[in-house]
Amino acid sequence: MSNTYTWTVTNLTGYPVFDGQTDVVTTAYCTVVADDGQGHTASIQVIQPTPLNSERPFVPYADLTNDIVVGWVQDELGVEGVNSIYAALDGDIAAQINPPPTPQSFPLPWVTPPTPDLSIPTN
């Protein structure tokens, strides 16, 4: 069974005028959620610069969609970056399914524990 991943753009920042264009997005903020379909989910926040790129056409701000911006973010991250995000989310879900052992505190072996005073106080 594999996880499904959902990318949601949560914020965009940029400049009213930049490089001859108006309302230019230069950074995208996304939440990526992994879901195993069995009740386990994990999420991560991604903040990614989205510089103007001469290899892709400029899209006016009013025409942007979640899919367009997610495409920019994934292009900037590259396959390795996207796969790294997925691996981290997969690890979080795996830890929910099979939690790692919890470390415990041990008494120091060279320190003798104090003997409790069990006497009854008198007034």
Strands of the sheet with 21-35, listed across from one edge: 4-18, 21-35, 41-49
Place of tokens 């499904």: 4
pLDDT at 118 over 90: no
Report whether 70 contacts 50 (CB < 8 A). no
pLDDT at 120 over 90: no
Q: What is the mean pLDDT of residues 92-113?
A: 92
pLDDT tens sequence across 43-53: 999 999 998 88
